[in-house]
A and B are shown apart, each in its own frame.
Chain A
Amino acid sequence: MSDLATSALPGAEFSGFVQVREAGLHGMITLRGDLASGTLAAALHNATGCALPAQRKVTRAEGFALAWMSPDEVLILCPYAQAPALVATLAQALAGEFATVANVSDARAVFTLSGPGWRDALAKLCPVDFGAMAEGDIRRTRAAQVAAAIWVSGPQEVHLVCFRSVAGYMFDLLSTAAAPGSEPGLYA
């Protein structure tokens, strides 16, 4: 009954020196398999219109994105309601492959950070050189005490994905890091 589905922190928002917003329900599918396989790349392209991403990159097409997660894993981003059907399509296309497709949309929370100060805010939480990250990059890392994946999705925007159970902790972290007056002047 997906019309009753709610994200972890519906509507949560914080205005600091960057804008923090819980981005609502996103379709997310884990695909594990041999990324060098032509069948796999073709199945993904057919289903999403996206090319297979290079190491630590994200590729996009209308409504879809593919994020490199590890040498044998990509994360497919799609509209929330389309995830179950897309899982079925991919599972069928990859039936002969050693590949695993799983809907993980509900296991995650997604936040967007917008504004030129996003690097300064995230630098307070993640041991990452954000100066070396550009649009289209993704980095899996640690935000304070929990895992996070950070995708630079626009010139002044990032998507941050974490586990759903820690959405509240993550929102509090991001709000603290983006608090007005705490601009560290590192990147921005």
Chain B
Amino acid sequence: MLVLTCPYCGITAEETEFKPGGEAHLKRFGPGSSDADYESYMFNRKNPRGVHFERWRHAYGCGKWFLAARDTVTLEVFGTYRAQTTTPPADLVATIAQKRPDWEGV
């Protein structure tokens, strides 16, 4: 069972206090979008062995959504950050690139 740190309230807590929300940084495609774009938004999800960005909500705490960068194999958590962004913070990306030289990047 994972341990994650909520970037809003600074609490490091176990997984049962959080609610998972799937892949992070999805771009919404609404009315007028192509079938392919809509399909990718609704249904197509990455399932990497390794670095993954994902959504979590501090459901039993402050109620805020945040994002986490995690290795799906080793379960190493590279970092968590606030959800109000479309891309991971540059320093986190640098940390991951250093720890996982083979990583293809964001």
Interface residues of A (CB under 8 A from B): 55-56, 69-71, 73, 127-128, 139-142, 147
Interface residues of B (CB under 8 A from A): 8-11, 13-14, 16-17, 60-64
Q: Which of A73, A139, A147 sits near B11, CB closer than 8 Å?
A: A139
Residue of B11, B61, B63 with most chain A CB atoms under a 10 A cut-off: B61
Main SS at interface, chain A = strand
Q: Which of B8, B10, B13, B64 sits near A141, CB closer than 8 Å?
A: B13
A71 engages B14 (CB within 8 Å): no
Residue of B11, B13, B17, B60 with most chain A CB atoms under a 10 A cut-off: B60
Q: Which of B13, B14, B17, B62 sits near A69, CB closer than 8 Å?
A: B62
Which residues of chain B come closer than 8 Å to A147, judged between CB atoms?
60
B10 engages A55 (CB within 8 Å): yes
A140 engages B60 (CB within 8 Å): yes
Cβ-closest 5 pairs across A and B: A70-B62, A142-B60, A140-B61, A127-B14, A71-B8
Which residues of chain A come closer than 8 Å to B11, judged between CB atoms?
56, 139
- Nearest CB in chain A to that of B61: its residue: A140
Which residues of chain A come closer than 8 Å to B16, judged between CB atoms?
127, 142
